[in-house]
Structure 1
């Protein structure tokens, strides 16, 4: 069902010239410039045939064929298109420490910030140093973190000393001359006397299967097993092992089955898309047994390519060494970056009466189209235009997926105020999102009487979030066809 990969030669544009120079003294000079316009011409040819909204494309007479690939695409694509993209396909990750972070202002120093660790790549220098999600960096070497020097301090390459802190409740110091009254408390980041040794940056490979765990949870006062899977990209494998990560999914399905897992909590909050074949595999693992080999989704192309229209099934043949878990429901953790492939999975699995999907977190992006990669293996460039609309098993294209009102949860807001006490490593049962998901299963969430945090007097809001160079090595871009 997957469209065969096109192998098209891309020749990069070399120089910007004026079209008025094509002809001089009546001499046709087009052959001199043909190689400079080959890439953009090729892109437009591909889109004229395959682009879902090809009717919106300009004619050759109305385009500048000397633009760089990204600029050219931005000029010709439909105004409603925020998904098509061009990309280099060189897979050489930049050296990195291997962690993402967010800056939160230090209330005690005007120009200083504390760095909240939001993501750590397994096997990276950051993990070797002992960094975990939820940890706080107060100083790098001997310097406080400022916006001016942040890039040098946190996105460099040499080994560093990290002076750490901890988010905790501390008493408010009375101002000079103020009478002491009832003791007040405030949450803030304070030193914890720990300094970590961060090794020099290196190239690391992130794995889309970031974390798995089997939890014991109460349901109707009985212990049941719940599988937790944090899945960051619908990526099948690597160049050297094209099915590497799909095989890991198959192995996880076996582990969950052996453990007797009743529900799966699928963490998609950092998942911005990937390949349809991975969606099909994971959907086949997670769906109920009665839906095996029945429609999961439909692909509908433009009127030039109606022969490509296809039905995608929950296909038992692709399980291979994996197993169907025959789940009765699914809990999915989402965010505003959840887009394309994870949205297709949620919409395709969801059946209101027989297979509910409970979403927790943020409203998803709302992508219901797929791109297809046309690649040049020699020059390592690709164009990925939108080629089809994706419909669920009810032939509904859907839109953004929104959790129920009481399940729209922030990672850093508790009781209406900023609080990082539950910003913890993925898979920790006390981590904010996972804790809520467990509460939905055991009946403790939403609480009957929502408590408010009286002790937090100052709002410590994230002012900037930073992704390290190799942390998001998966260029997911929604939903892709191979």
Structure 2
């Protein structure tokens, strides 16, 4: 469970009572208040034993045990730790339409915005209505989208009618009194396309870690697998291996298609569980490295016996298969973190396969893992950092490293020569989608294009994204890197 999935049910703020008030007429009244400090005391004890940086915690006498869990953790952890978190283990996902969007100011209406769909959860009301990544919403019911009402219109719960648009090149009509130019002036903008969609009421829905997979064919006939994997999550409480089994199913289909390379899309992957990292790494790694170390976990000096080496293990495949991949292209973004980064560093080995090409924006750079500890009485969990994660080439005293895009592949998702070309902002898995298109060209050896092969970029306007909004349920899995 991910902290920003939920509106954390904070324990009501308590009035801090001075120590002297616990004693009245010589009678010890501390037992009356002990239950108010139990949760924070439990968290402190857990962290003192398991926290990687426990030496940086304040002493027991210097902490306030009457704070809500999130506030207490912020005071108790090392001030340079941005990964440890607390969470309620009680709430269900919030109802949602199931799509993310970005607001772009309308070129024809100073007070209106168009909403660019950036992500759609499978089987959500948005997906059932026919919304796809790259679509534009111009009106909701009969209203243009304004900043004032955008939350009500696009983040509400009732059924809606959506008036759609399309980003296309249109001729600029001269203002009244202006001279008509000899040659038409063309610009790109969002215009109505006459399509309306019926968006159903919001629902509590479940996103899927395996968001999309495709088997693509290069110009020379080579088969390539595309996998958009959004969370390293094994399954649900009812079916603990549900999502891992889907990953195993995809590996079998890729094997049957004889894929020679994999394009792994981790743009929306904020991390997850280490056991899922081991599974996906074992699916992808060249078979010659099977059974060899993939990572090393180093715990604090109180838990040295937990420090361990993790291998590419045939046993975790179960119904899945090893793909023996020598080439792996990985698409990342600023959202990519934790488990996703561990996957890349574990697969990377100097002068050995797979040849890993990372493209996109640099990922977050997380090299530590958290572990969940649940307090059953209060139904809260604390998730402190418990270990540092190194790849198999780790040398004592060296810092962990993160693979980042090379200068050649530091490419933003929609930028082309400084303009915004929304014609390539398409559903994930579409070979013409901006980043996937570049990945395919890289495998075919046609990217970057030679100067003489470069096409002129159409005259476009660089639109400013005013706001990015995520659905309450989209990709709301536990992020970072977690130890089970």
Q: 2:59 — aligned with what?
A: 59
TM-superposed deviation, 1:15: 5.0
Q: Which of these residues, 235, 238, 241, is aligned with residue 236 of structure 2? A: 238
TM-superposed deviation, 1:57: 0.2
TM-superposed deviation, 1:123: 0.7
- Check whether the contact 2:159–2:201 (CA below 8 A) recurs between aligned residues: yes
Q: 2:404 — aligned with what?
A: 402
Q: Which of these residues, 429, 432, 443, is aligned with residue 445 of structure 2? A: 443
**Scaled by the length of structure 2, what TM-score is found?**
0.94
TM-superposed deviation, 1:148: 0.8
- Check whether the contact 2:273–2:339 (CA below 8 A) recurs between aligned residues: yes
Q: 2:3 — aligned with what?
A: none
**Cα deviation 1:207-237 (Å, max 9, x = unaligned):** 100001000013xxx2100000000000000
SS of structure 2 residue aligned to 1:274: strand
Query: Quick check: 271-280 or 458-467, which moved more?
Result: 458-467
- Check whether the contact 2:231–2:475 (CA below 8 A) recurs between aligned residues: no
Distance 1:324 1:173 in 2: 59
Distance 1:184 1:224 in 2: 43
Q: 1:109 — aligned with what?
A: 109
Count of equivalent residues: 467
Distance 2:99 2:28 in 1: 55
Distance 1:119 1:245 in 2: 20
Alignment of 1:23-422 (within 5 A): 23-90=23-90, 92-181=92-181, 182-218=183-219, 222-355=220-353, 356-395=355-394, 397-422=399-424
- Check whether the contact 1:411–1:422 (CA below 8 A) recurs between aligned residues: no
**Cα deviation 1:369-394 (Å, max 9, x = unaligned):** 00000013454311000000000011
Q: 1:89 to 1:452 in 2, by over 3 A?
A: farther
SS of structure 1 residue aligned to 2:330: strand
- Check whether the contact 1:40–1:67 (CA below 8 A) recurs between aligned residues: yes
Distance 1:32 1:12 in 2: 21
Distance 1:38 1:113 in 2: 50
- Check whether the contact 2:345–2:401 (CA below 8 A) recurs between aligned residues: no
Q: 2:457 — aligned with what?
A: 453
Runs (5+) with no aligned partner, structure 1? 1-10
Distance 1:64 1:378 in 2: 21
- Check whether the contact 1:97–1:468 (CA below 8 A) recurs between aligned residues: yes
Q: 1:474 — aligned with what?
A: 477
TM-superposed deviation, 1:411: 1.6
Q: 2:4 — aligned with what?
A: none
- Check whether the contact 2:13–2:68 (CA below 8 A) recurs between aligned residues: no
Q: 1:24 to 1:111 in 2, by over 3 A?
A: farther
Distance 2:175 2:440 in 1: 43
